[in-house]
Amino acid sequence: MKTTEIELRRPLIIPVFIPQEGCRHRCVYCDQPTITGASQASWSPDSIREHVRSYLGNCGRYPVQVAFYGGSFTLLPEARQRLFLGSVQEFLKQGLVHSLRLSTRPDAIEASNLRFLQNMGVKTIELGAQSLSDSVLKAAARGHSSRDVCEATLKVQQYGFETGLQLMPGLPGDSRETFLRTVDKSIALSPGFVRLYPTVVLSSTPLEHLYRRGRYRPLSLKQAVAWCKEAKQRFASAGIPVIRTGLQPTVTLEQPGRIVAGPYHPAFGQLVHSSIWSDRISPVLKKASIQSQRLVIHASPYQLADIRGHRNGNIKRWMTELKLTSLETVGCSQTGGGEFRVTTP
């Protein structure tokens, strides 16, 4: 499938951030206002509708979803849930918004609430699983078990919701082997999509105290890229898209001192994609360089940036390692997503 076809199927997300609303646990890593770049918002029906309207002028041909992120939505009082969901019903009726999305905890899924969410136009539920290792979940003070994740995923699917899992490689007690077991267990649950958020140490969190005391060692950037690359490849083989890799850069997140340690990079997703492309293209370039020191990589225009790498990192490395005199990348609209070829000029 071509990248353009994939992009057209993805909804335009209109985010409504409700940082830590409904949350009853303080996970060791969590500071939602910093992660989302949003402080506790005093949302009213009018402010939500104004917020949605500000996005709708640029929605193009995409299906549109309003998404409630940053809290445990299904743990909110029902009146609060109705305020949020009811505020956008007019957009659903007009066809300007196609469905709603929310995130919540795996141990906050009840059949009665799922029926309510269906009636209010919710299509997608993202579960903050973080890990499917009970020891890792305990060390992160998640307050739920891996069994809760499995049961919640199955229940949400039984009610016909699109289901997403959010995973956090590198939590306390995690290892490459433990994380990849989480990946394999996640694949067995057949989610509609996955997000990967490598753990970073934020200021004023319990995880910072563990880090300062030498009781927690975050992943290096190189380790995080390698773990996420392996995860993405396993999910891809199972036909499960990873729709986000790495924290979304925000002004708040990138303020000095907010990130204490860990594998944060504003282009983390590109680092992972570029590493995957490097593994695929390097052997072909090496073989072709025997015949010529001037080479051209042809691929979909949408994938050239990832092939070249962050700040042309792949190009520079290939040029040096293979002693090339020139290496061009050329967009080819006839080339499908994931395909490439190497030629001489």
Taking the domains of the chain in order of start, what are their residue ranges?
Answer: 3-266, 274-343
pLDDT of residue 39: 52
The answer to whether residues 183 and 133 touch, using CB atoms and an 8 Å cutoff, is no
pLDDT mean across residues, the chain = 92
pLDDT of residue 7: 41
- More confident call, 100 vs 7: 100
For the segment 192-216, what is each residue's pLDDT rounded down to a tens digit? 999 999 999 999 999 999 999 999 9
**What pTM, to 2 d.p., does this model score?**
0.91
CATH, range 3-266: 3.20.20.70
pLDDT of residue 71: 87
Q: Which residue has the tokens 């995973």?
A: 167
For the segment 210-262, what is each residue's pLDDT rounded down to a tens digit? 999 999 999 999 999 999 999 999 999 999 999 999 999 988 888 999 999 99
The answer to whether residues 296 and 330 touch, using CB atoms and an 8 Å cutoff, is yes
For 310-327, what is the mean pLDDT?
97
For the segment 35-76, what is each residue's pLDDT rounded down to a tens digit? 555 555 678 999 999 999 999 987 776 899 999 998 899 999
Selection from 173, 179, 188, 269 nearest residue 221 by Cα: 269
pLDDT of residue 33: 59
For 9-19, what is the mean pLDDT?
86
pLDDT of residue 2: 37
Q: Phi and psi dihedrals of 278, rounded to 5?
A: -60, -45
DSSP characters over 204-257: TSHHHHHHHTTS--PPPHHHHHHHHHHHHHHHHHTT--EEEESPPP-TTTTSTT
Residue 218: Cβ within 10 Å count: 22
pLDDT band at residue 19 under the 50/70/90 scheme: confident
CATH, range 274-343: 3.40.1260.20
